[in-house]
């Protein structure tokens, strides 16, 4: 039987949000806006610092190559976050969340469980998605945001660093992800793990970790509260 975590650390793509939203909405948005963004803002210090990490005589081509390969390169992820910012600000983008996610996050936060995000998406992008989500502004629920600047998601050391920075023993942290290799790495550092196997995303259960089809399923496995039942009671 699992113990109740003090901190729930969640992945985004395939865990809180549809893989299709990231691949078919967010990534094409950044690709379409890339040239105009570089022309307009390429010399700004923040953007220039990111571009200094992008090799090649044709940096736009390098970035497009990384995009096509879905490479989890920190420079690309930082740039995508900056490009998405305009779309989230003017309403062209809104952060997708599976409908079961926000009610559980609210219930867990209300019960005193700390919440944090660990995604390949930049911290800036994570805040955009949860701040402009389909369920409203969820940023106040989270006490930590981590991206690949702390380490790659398939390396155990990243999870040890997150635990140290978050101030919780690894054994008190539950990591949620759809990707088996990320869960393997987290378990190697002593975190509790649960694979989100969402049929809508076509995720395949790896069999090496506890698994749930949604966040209420996670709650049942790890003694976390379930959200209050809403709806009307039919008159008798
Ligand atoms: C707004 S977060 C964008 C997600 C993203 O860029 C990505 O690569 C997804 O990675 P994850 O680690 O969340 O699976
Ligand atoms: Mg994922």
Taking only the tens place, the pLDDT of each residue in 91-146 is: 999 999 999 999 999 999 999 999 999 999 999 999 999 999 999 999 999 999 99
Q: Which ligand is nearest to the CA of 154?
A: 1
Say yes or no: CB of residue 77 within 6 Å of ligand 1. Answer: yes
Q: Which two tokens stand for residue 78?
A: 């930082």
Residue range 223-235: mean pLDDT, rounded: 83
CA atoms of 53 and 76, how far apart (whole Å): 9
Confidence of residue 199 (pLDDT cuts 50, 70, 90): very high
Maximum distance among all Cα pairs of the chain, rounded to whole angstroms: 73
Cβ(194)–Cβ(3) under 8 Å?
A: no
Do the domain assignments include residue 106?
yes
Cβ(117)–Cβ(10) under 8 Å?
A: yes
C-alpha distances in angstroms, 205 versus 153, 160, 202? 18, 25, 10
Say yes or no: CB of residue 177 within 6 Å of ligand 1. Answer: no
Q: Are residues 43 and 124 in the same domain?
A: no
Do the domain assignments include residue 227?
no
| Domain-terminating residue out of 56, 89, 122 | 89
Domain that holds residue 40: 21-89
């Amino acid at each position: 039987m699992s113990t109740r975590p003090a901190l729930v650390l969640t992945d985004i793509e395939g865990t809180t949000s549809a893989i299709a939203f990231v691949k078919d909405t967010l990534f094409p948005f950044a690709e379409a806006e890339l040239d105009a963004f570089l022309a307009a803002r390429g010399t700004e210090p923040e953007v220039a610092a990111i571009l200094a990490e992008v090799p090649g005589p044709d940096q736009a081509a390098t970035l497009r190559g990384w995009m096509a390969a879905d490479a989890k390169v920190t420079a690309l992820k930082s740039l995508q976050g900056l490009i998405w910012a305009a779309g989230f600000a003017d309403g062209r983008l809104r952060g997708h969340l599976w409908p079961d996610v926000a009610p559980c996050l609210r219930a867990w936060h209300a019960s005193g469980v700390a919440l944090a995000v660990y995604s390949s998406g930049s911290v800036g992008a994570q805040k955009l998605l949860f701040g402009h989500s389909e369920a409203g502004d969820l940023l106040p629920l989270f006490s930590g945001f981590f991206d690949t600047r702390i380490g790659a998601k398939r390396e155990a050391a990243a999870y040890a660093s997150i635990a140290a920075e978050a101030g919780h023993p690894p054994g008190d942290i539950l990591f949620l992800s759809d990707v088996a290799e990320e869960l393997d790495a987290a378990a190697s550092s002593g975190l509790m793990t649960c694979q989100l196997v969402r049929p809508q995303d076509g995720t395949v259960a790896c069999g090496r970790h506890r698994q749930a089809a949604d966040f209420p399923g996670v709650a049942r496995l790890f003694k976390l509260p379930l959200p209050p039942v809403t709806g009307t009671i039919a008159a008798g």
